[in-house]
Homo-oligomer: A and B are copies of this chain.
Amino acid sequence: MNREQQVLDRIERVRRRKATVREERITLAHGAGGQATHTLIEAIFLEAFRNPMLAPLDDGALLTLEGERAAFTTDCFVVSPLFFPGGDIGDLAVNGTVNDLAMCGAVPRHLSAGFILEEGFPVADLRRITASMAAAASAAQVTIVTGDTKVVPRGKGDGCYITTAGVGLVEQPSALSASAARVGDAVLVSGPIGEHGAAIMLARGDFDIEAPIASDTAPLHGIVAELLDALPGQVRTLRDATRGGVATVLNEVARASEKAVILEESAIPVRPEVTGVCELLGLDPLYVACEGRFVAVVAAEHADRALDLLRRHPLGGDAAIIATVAADPAGLVLLRTAFGGTRVVDVLVGDPLPRIC
């Protein structure tokens, strides 16, 4: 066989090559940028996220943004375990970034996804994760338009870490910020708290506890858009209560606005199963992460309207007014307990719930 024939044969082989990942586990070669990387991208990522902006596999995606104001955010996901009741790292990574955009008052549009995979990670798991990301993206009406994959050697990662970034459009200019809270404002939470964190703790199997708790992971831009549309200029702050829970969000509001947040213990919605698990684990649900709940600071006179609106939405069934903004003690969150006492709700010290998201 002469050289030319060899070359022609090679061409035929290249052309016939179908993008199929034959390996069952991720190898360093999948991160090397060569053939294995190409195959992985085509067979797994393109297959799951198929859209015209991603398809050219150029170095970035070109977006057409009709507005002049855009929001931009990023989140890293290192949750353990990767799969848990109610979701997995994939939909968590999509919803987390969708929600951060929603909290800026933006309509989420495009996501990027960066994967840091550990050598030996099962390809089937990656497939399951990307399918879950694709479903979450579709539900949230966003497209995953660009990405990157690196593989680290065994023992230098933990299966799969995902970093998503997102771009959204800000249609209505607003000054949403944790610093915008004013004295008298009402603080609402969009549903019962602590479910994601409790679900993850149970899924780890470190405790001999079983309880019917699933992660609340969900995209919040729809419910947020309804709130912003109904009450233009009356919503001061939006924050999703993820890592650190509602207590952390309220502390961020108190500090940024230099106001006090006075929280009513009896008003905080927590499902009995979550209360039970938290008691067993010695956790305060106020600090336990949600992935589908947000805190809204709303002008007092519109609080009831906001509450009514949230409760009519499928993701806001148990919404509640849980706190008010006061002048003093500025910078602090005070909890009025069910027994009439008062205590400071501080920010977390230490990490009672590592790798919750």
A residues whose Cβ falls under 8 Å from a Cβ of B? 3, 7-8, 10-11, 14-15, 27-29, 31-38, 56-66, 68-78, 99-101, 103-104, 106, 110, 112-116, 145-153, 155-158, 161, 163, 165-168, 170, 176-179, 239-240, 242-244, 248, 252, 255-256, 329-332, 334, 342, 344, 346-355, 357
Residue from the list B34, B63, B75, B114 in contact with A70, Cβ < 8 A: B63
Q: Is the CB of B58 within 8 A of A176?
A: yes
Q: Which residues of B contact A58 (CB under 8 A)?
A: 103-104, 176-178
Residue from the list B60, B70, B157 in contact with A101, Cβ < 8 A: B60
Residue from the list B15, B75, B255 in contact with A331, Cβ < 8 A: B15
Residue from the list B73, B147, B150 in contact with A59, Cβ < 8 A: B73
Q: Is the CB of A32 within 8 A of B244?
A: yes
Residue of chain B at shortest CB distance from A165: B165
User: Whole-angstrom distance between the alpha carbons of A58 and B151 in the complex?
Assistant: 31
Q: Is the CB of B165 within 8 A of A351?
A: no
User: Whole-angstrom distance between the alpha carbons of A161 and B152 in the complex?
Assistant: 10
Q: Is the CB of A76 within 8 A of B116?
A: yes
Residue from the list B60, B74, B75, B347 in contact with A38, Cβ < 8 A: B347
Q: Is the CB of B350 within 8 A of A33?
A: no
Q: Which residues of B contact A176 (CB under 8 A)?
A: 58
Q: Is the CB of B152 within 8 A of A34?
A: no
User: Whole-angstrom distance between the alpha carbons of A342 and B6 in the complex?
Assistant: 11
Q: Which residues of B contact A145 (CB under 8 A)?
A: 72
Beyond A34-B350, A66-B68, 11 additional contacts (C-beta under 8 Å) are A10-B344, A11-B329, A28-B350, A32-B353, A32-B354, A36-B351, A59-B101, A74-B114, A78-B156, A150-B161, A150-B357
Tell me how far the C-beta of A301 lies from the nearest C-beta in chain B, rounded to whole angstroms: 25
User: Whole-angstrom distance between the alpha carbons of A14 and B104 in the complex?
Assistant: 27
Tell me how far the C-beta of A169 lies from the nearest C-beta in chain B, rounded to whole angstroms: 10
Copies in the complex: 2
Q: Which residues of B contact A148 (CB under 8 A)?
A: 74-76, 163
User: Whole-angstrom distance between the alpha carbons of A102 and B176 in the complex?
Assistant: 32
Q: Is the CB of B34 within 8 A of A103?
A: no
Q: Which residues of B contact A344 (CB under 8 A)?
A: 7, 10
User: Whole-angstrom distance between the alpha carbons of A152 and B332 in the complex?
Assistant: 30
Q: Which residues of B contact A27 (CB under 8 A)?
A: 351
**Residue in A74, A104, A176 whose Cβ sees the most chain B Cβ within 10 Å:** A74
Q: Is the CB of A33 within 8 A of B248?
A: yes
**Residue in A7, A153, A166, A357 whose Cβ sees the most chain B Cβ within 10 Å:** A7
Q: Which residues of B contact A357 (CB under 8 A)?
A: 150
Closest 9 CB pairs of A and B: A34-B348, A60-B73, A165-B165, A33-B244, A32-B351, A33-B243, A163-B163, A74-B112, A59-B100
Supposing A58-B178, A116-B76, A351-B29 touch, asked if A34 and B156 sit within 8 A by C-beta, the answer is: no
Residue of chain B at shortest CB distance from A67: B65
Residue of chain B at shortest CB distance from A53: B72
Q: Is the CB of A60 within 8 A of B106?
A: yes
Q: Which residues of B contact A113 (CB under 8 A)?
A: 74
Q: Is the CB of B15 within 8 A of A153?
A: no
Residue of chain B at shortest CB distance from A61: B72
Q: Is the CB of B101 within 8 A of A72?
A: no
Residue from the list B77, B99, B116 in contact with A78, Cβ < 8 A: B116
User: Whole-angstrom distance between the alpha carbons of A348 and B27 in the complex?
Assistant: 14
